[in-house]
Amino acid sequence: MIYFDNSATTRPLPAVLDTFNKVATDVWGNPSSLHKLGEPAWNLLEQARAQVAKLCGVKPGEIIFNSGGSEGDNAVIKGTAWAKRQYGKHIITSSVEHGAVANTMNELKELGFDITVLPVDSEGRVNPQDVAAAIRSDTILVSIMAVNNEIGAIQPINEIGKILQKYPKIHFHVDAVQAVGKGLDSMVFGPRVDFATFSGHKFHGLRGTGFVFHRAGRKLMPLVAGGGQEHNHRSGTENLAGDVALARALRLVKEREDENVQKELSIKHRIYQHLVGKPHVKVFSGDSDNPHFAPHVLTFAIVGVRGETIVHAFEEHGIYISTTSACASKKTDEAGTLVAMKVPDKEATSAVRVSLGDQNTLEEADQFNRVFDQLYAEFQKIIN
Ligand SMILES: Cc1ncc(COP(=O)(O)O)c(C=O)c1O
């Protein structure tokens, strides 16, 4: 099996599962309990928080554990909207955000918020000057992702941050779900970023775990009210075992980040070079030397063949890829990002995504390329 669908989810590491099991078995007390079962649970939770904070270069109080990327995006966007609605109802976002951001914006629009959705260029990137031009006196939030989940485009977060320096009251949220372990921390935790959202299962942690970087002093109204856990930001008895496992997963990813980025770049390069220039192939992501693209995502189309047909054809050879976004892939034929890039329908409906992880190898890239050649020859008959 070759697993090239790491942007959809990653395989939990055995060490991470061991940690989960051990904590769930041995430290099962409620961290809020005052008795002697509560104390070690509390200590372990705060240790995990401190470890995540250290790995991210932020303060422990700025890490809020939660259930993952969708919750984080909702919590920051709705939490800003509720907390700042008396100051303004204008929000700026991009046309290539994940559904967790885009659909949250749609909900707010229904409730009377004014949402400016910025266009992207042919690489799927926002122009920072468009952000500057969209800012109004009633703007309360700018929400732009770090790495696009459909084609891997890296958004100009630093440049947007520089523009926002002049507007200290506006919250700046970065969906960083696809950015972990990709050498992008200086951008994701840049000086003007107020909130960044993360998902454990994208870096070998467990489904249903995640965290928000919440810059000290920034106010959100909590999405989940209740017992006041997570420093009052996210109520609910903590998923201690999941949070400790997430901290371990993050440490393991960070330990080999540079090496992994280089490896993913070389795998991407090998496949990119194999695909590019073929008559019916359109590649949407950049090669390894293009700094506007993350190392792990390579999206292309065999134009004229439907994306799901390509996915299933590779699957028959034991290679797992996806249409452009796992969440959307069962619902729609078209990729939102490619549509926003004004890619013609025929190309967008043929798009598939290869998404790499630290466990992939160059040998797998070679095998992918061999299978590609075989399928491409077969597909020529449909295309012509
Ligand atoms: C960019 C981005 N944001 C948010 C999410 C949602 O994360 P989760 O699956 O943890 O809810 C995803 C998942 O694919 C994503 O790629």
User: What is the rounded distance in angstroms from the CA atom of residue 370 to the CA atom of residue 43?
Assistant: 52
The helix (run of H) or strand (run of E) holding residue 79 is helix 69-84
Mean pLDDT, residues 340-369 = 97
Residue whose Cα lies nearest atom 5 of ligand 1: it is 69
The 10s digit of each residue's pLDDT in 21-65 is 999 999 999 999 999 999 999 999 999 999 999 999 999 999 999
Sign of the C-alpha dihedral, residues 161, 293, 203, 10? positive
Catalytically annotated residue among 111, 327, 362, 383: 327
Residue whose Cα lies nearest atom 9 of ligand 1: it is 69
Topology (CATH) of 2-9+257-383: Aspartate Aminotransferase, domain 1 (3.90.1150)
User: What is the rounded distance in angstroms from the CA atom of residue 320 to the CA atom of residue 270?
Assistant: 18
User: What is the rounded distance in angstroms from the CA atom of residue 298 to the CA atom of residue 66?
Assistant: 29
Q: Is the CB of 177 under 6 A from ligand 1?
A: yes
pLDDT of the residue at 326: 43
User: What is the rounded distance in angstroms from the CA atom of residue 33 to the CA atom of residue 37?
Assistant: 7
The 10s digit of each residue's pLDDT in 284-306 is 999 999 999 999 999 999 999 99
pLDDT of the residue at 333: 41
SS3 51: helix
For ligand 1, pick from 70, 150, 299, 353 the residue to mutate: most ligand atoms within 8 Å of CB: 70
Q: Where does the pLDDT of residue 382 fall: very low under 50, low under 70, confident under 90, or very high at 90 and above? A: confident
Residue whose Cα lies nearest atom 4 of ligand 1: it is 69
Topology (CATH) of 14-255: Aspartate Aminotransferase; domain 2 (3.40.640)
pLDDT of the residue at 52: 98
pLDDT of the residue at 335: 63
pLDDT at 329 over 50: no
Q: Is the CB of 209 under 6 A from ligand 1?
A: no
Q: Is the CB of 100 under 6 A from ligand 1?
A: yes
pLDDT at 328 over 60: no
User: What is the rounded distance in angstroms from the CA atom of residue 71 to the CA atom of residue 74?
Assistant: 5
With a CB cutoff of 8 Å and minimum separation 6, the contacts of 112 are 89
Which residues does residue 3 pair with via DSSP β-bridges, in sequence order? 320
Supply the mean pLDDT for the chain: 96
Mean pLDDT, residues 68-91 = 98
Q: Of 138, 191, 125, which is closest to residue 163 (Cα–Cα)?
A: 191
SS3 274: helix
pLDDT at 332 over 60: no
Residue whose Cα lies nearest atom 14 of ligand 1: it is 8
**Closest atom of ligand 1 relative to the 71 alpha carbon:** 11
Cα 336 to middle of ligand 1, angstroms? 15
Q: Is the CB of 323 under 6 A from ligand 1?
A: no
DSSP sequence for 252-317: HHHHTHHHHHHHHHHHHHHHHHHHTT-TTEEE-S--TT-TTB-TTEEEEEETTS-HHHHHHHHHTT
The 10s digit of each residue's pLDDT in 161-205 is 999 999 999 999 999 999 999 999 999 999 999 999 999 999 999
Cα 69 to middle of ligand 1, angstroms? 5
For ligand 1, pick from 93, 94, 95, 178 the residue to mutate: most ligand atoms within 8 Å of CB: 178
pLDDT at 104 over 80: yes
Cα 199 to middle of ligand 1, angstroms? 7
- Residue 132: phi, psi to the nearest 5? -55, -45
pLDDT of the residue at 325: 53
The helix (run of H) or strand (run of E) holding residue 198 is strand 195-199
Q: Is the CB of 72 under 6 A from ligand 1?
A: no
User: What is the rounded distance in angstroms from the CA atom of residue 160 to the CA atom of residue 281?
Assistant: 33
Domain ranges of the chain: 2-9+257-383, 14-255
Is residue 24 within 8 A of residue 206, CB to CB? The reply is no
Does the annotation count 327 as an active-site position? yes
With a CB cutoff of 8 Å and minimum separation 6, the contacts of 369 are 270, 271, 274
SS3 47: helix
Residue whose Cα lies nearest atom 16 of ligand 1: it is 149
- What's the chain's Rg over C-alpha atoms? 21
